[in-house]
Chain A
Amino acid sequence: MISHHHYLLPILSSLALTIPVVAQAQPPAGRLLAAQCAQCHGTDGKAVGDMENLAGNNAQELFNEMLEMKYSTNMGDIMHRQAKGYDESQLSLIAQYYASLRSGTANRGTNNGAAGTGNNDD
């Protein structure tokens, strides 16, 4: 596999000039892990509604925040539970990945009327 890579490298870089996005042999570190945050924090960390955006945050701050939740004894907070699911190296990868992304607004699409907050007057 390793020699295979060396063989491909020059070809890959030349192709990158003509094909804007290609299937990458080595996806960015942390991308798959970080994508597991997107269900609540939005695709690429760009959230809709009242939810913390992760994209473009400072890596160290994000990491520290997740560490605090990981080692918190408050088991009654959903994110404190989530943070306990990952080891420190995974949390670091997640923080670095989101720090590498640009902040911005989420794509809500053209046909994805979000559910709002319901009609719960009584």
Chain B
Amino acid sequence: MNTISRRHFLKLMGATTALAATPPILKAQAVPPRVVVVGGGFAGATVAKYLHRWGGAGVSITLVEINPTHVSCILSNLVLNGSLGLSTITFGYNTLQQNGINVIQDQAVGIDNGNRKLQLPGGKILNYDLIVLAPGIDFDPIPGLDFNKIPHAWKAGPQTTLLQQQLAAMPAGGTFVQTIPPKPYRCPPGPYERVCVVANYLKRNKPRSKVIVLDANPIDPNFPQNPYSAIVAEQATFTKAFSRTYANIVEYHPGVVLQQVDSQNKIAMTDHGNFKANVLNVIPPQRAGGIVESAGLTHGGRWALVDPLSYESTLPGQSGIHIIGDAQGTGQPKSGHIANAEAKVCADAILRLFAGEKPDPNPMTNSACFSPITAKTASWLTAVFAYDPNTLDPTTGKMGVMKVVPESSGEAPSATRENYQRMFTWANNLFADTFA
């Protein structure tokens, strides 16, 4: 059965799994449909958790994650200045397992969607009726870049520890150079938050040190005199932080594109010349995690093309594959908070599809985050997104996009101590809603 006719067949049956010509809800209960989730970060863990909470025994869930635990990128900049230990932002999958979710520590290497099979190393196979991919990001290769010497620390874990150790060993009066990739990338305010956290750490511990920021994002042509108009998120907050709070420490260069790295000598080679560092942190340009690209779900672009009602791929032959979190290309920001939000929309849609229904026609998601600006203060950024059926998505060529509700979008008026405390309350609830 080819894809088109198969789709029609499924529509007639009112199910995404062509098991037999019986009412789909009965089949779903007799033999629970098998959902395989690839990736156990904020998106993957949340979709597994909520498929179980909302689907119960009506769905069989397997989570495939290569690591035994997930280390949160959220709050991980606070490991760099010694405020938090890595263990406090490390989460296991025990609660998911206790709830009957089958957690397999392995690598997803390929997808045979025609036969509904996920390929694991050594010829192992996982059969699925529907698969959710939440692999996060991969990095573009940069000539000369060796992550063992020049950490990205943009996937939290050993890389975070490496950067923390390099900063601790940096001499007073030294130079920290950090590159920022072109948008979109994981966590829009994250690179600027890191600049602040490191500048604050150096100010207190390594007098006379400099922070040189090489931002690939260009100055806004509407504000050609304002270099800070290149800042991707929380422009008011970070303009103030760079130009006032850390005026004698931070040197901000917009529109500088990294081309090559001398990892041995810690030199960032750019279209605006070379920048030598004592500690060099390269955050490379980003794209969807490898399995999304190798399965042909990006259509030659960087991110997966999906329908924001269900996060199912819009590409022919890819029905039954849903992509959530940083790897999806709806244009919503790439962050743990909204990955959790997308996962709930996806879980709800999957259960409705199994029951022969259509996804909720008006899904909402939201983004919220707090960023430390000093060792005692933090800012926030937030936005609510609503589905608009009447706008064309230029990436998929289909109608329907997630759009910011205008007045819902904004940043904190100033970085405050109260926000610093609220940052932990936010993060701890998000961690619990995802992993517990």
A residues contacting B by CB (< 8 A) are 1, 4, 7-8, 11-12, 15, 19-27, 31-33, 35-36, 38-43, 47-51, 75-76, 78, 81-82, 84-86, 90, 106-120, 122
Contact = CB atoms under 8 A, between A and B. Distances in A.
A115 B75 CA distance: 8
Nearest to B362: A90
Nearest to A107: B436
Interface of B: 14, 23, 25-26, 28-29, 50, 53-59, 75, 78, 82-84, 87-92, 94-95, 98, 204, 337, 340-341, 344-345, 348, 351-352, 354-357, 360, 363-366, 368, 375-376, 380, 382-386, 405, 407-410, 412-413, 420-421, 424-433, 435-436
Contacts of B87: 113
A65 to B, nearest CB: 17
Contacts of B360: 32
Contacts of B356: 1, 4, 25
Nearest to B54: A27
B98 to A, nearest CB: 8
Nearest to A32: B348
B433 A42 contact: yes
23 contacts: A4-B23, A11-B23, A22-B58, A23-B59, A23-B351, A24-B54, A24-B355, A25-B356, A27-B54, A31-B54, A35-B344, A40-B368, A42-B432, A49-B428, A76-B413, A81-B383, A84-B407, A85-B385, A85-B408, A106-B429, A109-B436, A113-B88, A115-B431
A115 B428 contact: yes
A42 B98 CA distance: 19
Nearest to B413: A76
A33 B364 contact: yes
Contacts of B58: 19, 21-23
A103 B196 CA distance: 40
B424 A117 contact: yes
A113 B71 CA distance: 12
Contacts of B29: 15, 19, 22-23
A44 to B, nearest CB: 8
A32 B341 CA distance: 10
Contacts of B92: 111-112
Contacts of B337: 39
B25 A12 contact: yes
Nearest to B96: A109
Given A21-B58, A35-B344, A112 B83 contact: no
Closest 3 CB pairs of A and B: A85-B384, A21-B56, A23-B58
B340 A39 contact: yes
A67 to B, nearest CB: 14
Contact of A48 (B357, B407, B409, B428): B428
B23 A7 contact: yes
A24 B351 contact: yes
A81 B432 contact: no
B364 A4 contact: no
A109 B413 CA distance: 35
A86 to B, nearest CB: 7
B364 A86 contact: yes
A114 B235 CA distance: 30
B424 A116 contact: yes
A82 B424 CA distance: 19
A107 B405 contact: no
B387 to A, nearest CB: 12
Given A32-B360, A117-B421, A118-B83, A23 B375 contact: no
